[in-house]
Amino acid sequence: MKQRLVGLVMLLAGGLLGYLSVYSPLEAARNHEEKVSLSLKGAMLCPLGVILGLFCLVYGESGDYGSSLATAIRARGAANGVTLSFGPRTVMTEYW
């Protein structure tokens, strides 16, 4: 039960980071606001938090966190974070 709670917190934190670090700056750039800031740390941590949160939420206490599946999920989350850190910057240049 404790792992599922941790997974839920990680999922919510990843979603909040995604909103604050990716969605809000893109909306600000789309609205041609004077100051737009993009947090690369938040953009990189957002997918990792969401993916690991879902993993903990689904598998809970029975999850084998050292397995090759868990390693693949963490690697995919990190790759999504890197992609997400460069994607909004490219999109924002179109709006400026």
Three-class DSSP category at 37: coil
- Residue-wise pLDDT for 2-34, tens only, equals 888 988 999 999 999 889 888 888 888 888 888
Tens-digit pLDDT profile for residues 62-94: 766 667 777 777 777 777 777 776 766 666 666
Helix (H, G, I), strand (E, B) or coil at 35: coil
Cβ(88)–Cβ(42) under 8 Å?
A: no
Q: Taking a C-beta distance cutoff of 8 angstroms, is the pair 53, 11 a contact?
A: yes
Query: Which pLDDT value is given to residue 52?
Result: 81
Cβ atoms of 45 and 80 within 8 Å: the answer is no
